Amino acid sequence: MANNIKRQLFSGVFYTALAKYSGVIISLVIAGVLARLLSPDDFGIVAIATVIIAFFNLFTDMGVSPAIIQHKSLTGDDLADIFSFTVWTGIGISVLFFGASWLIADYYESDILRTLCQLLSVNLFFASATIVPGALFYRNKEFKFIALRSFIIQISAGAAAVTAALCGAGLYALIINPIVSSILIFIISYHRYPQRLRFTLGLGVLRKIFSYSAYQFLFNVINYFSRNLDKLLIGKYMGMSPLGYYEKSYRLMMLPLQNITQVITPVMHPIFSDFQNDKAKLATSYERILRFLSFIGLPLSVLLFFTAQEVTLIIFGDQWLPSVPVFRILALSVGVQIILSSSGSIFQAAGDTRSLFVCGVFSSVLNVAGMLLGIFYFGTLTAVATCIVATFTINFVQCYWQMYRVTFRRSALPFVRQLISPLVVSLLMAAALVPMQYALEGMNIFLTIIAKGIVSFIIFGVYIQATHEYDLIGKVRSVVSKRK
């Protein structure tokens, strides 16, 4: 059983990583091109539209997708009823968002925002119609197919966005990617798992999964405000250009988070849900992943802090220089967020979406308080970023206390032990990069980022080898001997 779980986890992570990391290069190229063709104002306006549509999108899922993965006993008729529910509600929510576009545009005093919202309303329908077939991919652990689908869509939608920008589409180029992606995901997913549409809301089957999906939905709602209220308020009270700079910093901060944890976390719930009745096994299995994520996230957070300027200028160009101080501060939260982002899958796998909801409430209240403090009291983007880093850190402590004391019903000491060694190597890297930061001041940014990267990797590699966390030398010798 253990070997089977390990094999499934490795296979899922491998194929998800293959698609994700091949897509990283594509997404960075696309982001770099668009950042040089469009202004911070354009990015600010589109950020408002995407944040608002994300709120409406919460009501298309309502926790249904993870409930399908968790409940293995749902029949074909049950799935048809759920599919019908998501399609009919998707149509209603799309129409509602289309109608709300006038109010949104008036609130932000931007006519172009109305048109953007109306065009993006198409996304809501296709996102809702994809919920059931999309969830079945994960329930059936078809990670290879998911990876292939993701790669094809990234190339297609990205190429369409860049082509539109080069042809003078302006900020409309920024919404082509999400629209094309949502349509393609639906077409591919529905072709793989076709569903019967019925003239019913399927309320009977929804009662079966309500106790699970309700807390999941409530968590999604409060997590939305926790993650997005800062953008809504900055756009309204500080302006679209500051929002553009902030949004770029936030996107850069989220890039490693999305391309590391989203390789692992989509795989965790489908596989670890098999342990939902064995919490001790679930906890020990998760702790191995915790240690792995800590060794990636915490040192990466240090490296990004010291290379914030180089990363921003290389990817986006000189016009985004005001984003650097904000990104440098947000980078401090990368390690904590990489670890924390995996917690939701464990709460789901344990069937404890109530604890997930409790963590979400605590997180949202704290994050919103931090955002309000940064925006209305201090009134600067760096203050907002500092407050967010502080609240993420507090949320981290509360979430894992909840997981170990309530969900696992065991001591949190094993969790703390997983963090000690990654923290030590991170501090060693910081001690080496501080003097380098001053010594390399004013030099070519390509040379400085390479130098800082090499020093960081040497420290990390030596530490890993010296502490026997991983036998790098033995692995190299093994590979060389096989080639001989």
Cα dihedral 394/242/334/281 (nearest 10) = 60
Cβ burial of 115 (10 Å; 0-12, 13-18, 19+) is middle
Each residue's pLDDT expressed in tens, for the chain with a length of 484 residues: 445 555 555 555 555 555 555 555 666 666 666 677 667 777 778 778 878 887 887 777 666 777 777 776 777 788 888 888 888 988 998 999 999 999 988 888 888 888 888 988 988 899 888 888 888 887 777 777 777 787 788 788 878 888 887 887 777 877 888 888 889 889 988 888 888 888 877 666 667 666 666 666 777 777 777 777 888 888 888 888 888 888 888 888 887 776 666 666 666 666 777 676 777 888 888 888 888 889 989 999 999 999 999 988 888 878 888 889 999 999 999 999 889 888 888 888 787 878 888 888 888 889 889 999 999 988 899 999 999 999 999 999 999 999 998 888 888 898 999 999 999 999 999 999 999 998 888 888 899 999 999 999 999 989 988 887 776 666 666 656 665 5
Taking only the tens place, the pLDDT of each residue in 202-259 is 666 667 666 666 666 777 777 777 777 888 888 888 888 888 888 888 888 887 776 6
Structural domain spans, the chain: 1-222, 239-482
- Which of 342, 188, 177, 372 is CA-nearest to residue 260? 342
SS3 405: helix
Cα dihedral 424/429/434/438 (nearest 10) = 180
pTM of the predicted model, to two decimals?
0.70
The tokens for 19 are 């698609």
- Give the span between the Cα atoms of 291 and 270, in whole angstroms: 20
How many C-beta atoms surround the C-beta of residue 334 within 10 A?
27
Question: Do residues 206 and 82 lie in contact, with contact meaning Cβ atoms separated by under 8 Å?
Answer: yes
Question: Do residues 233 and 375 lie in contact, with contact meaning Cβ atoms separated by under 8 Å?
Answer: yes
- Give the span between the Cα atoms of 425 and 261, in whole angstroms: 20
- The pLDDT, as a whole number, for residue 230 is 85
Query: Cα dist. 40→115, 158, 241 in Å?
Result: 19, 20, 5
- Which of 64, 30, 54 is CA-nearest to residue 133? 64
- Which of 331, 251, 254 is CA-nearest to residue 31? 251
The tokens for 462 are 């030596």
Cα dihedral 293/295/296/299 (nearest 10) = 140
Distance of CA 263 to the CA centre of its chain: 10
Phi and psi, residue 468, nearest 5°: 60, 25
- The pLDDT, as a whole number, for residue 81 is 84
- The pLDDT, as a whole number, for residue 289 is 85
- Which of 310, 285, 333, 279 is CA-nearest to residue 453? 310
- The pLDDT, as a whole number, for residue 168 is 78
- Give the span between the Cα atoms of 103 and 425, in whole angstroms: 51
- Which of 309, 311, 174, 323 is CA-nearest to residue 246? 323
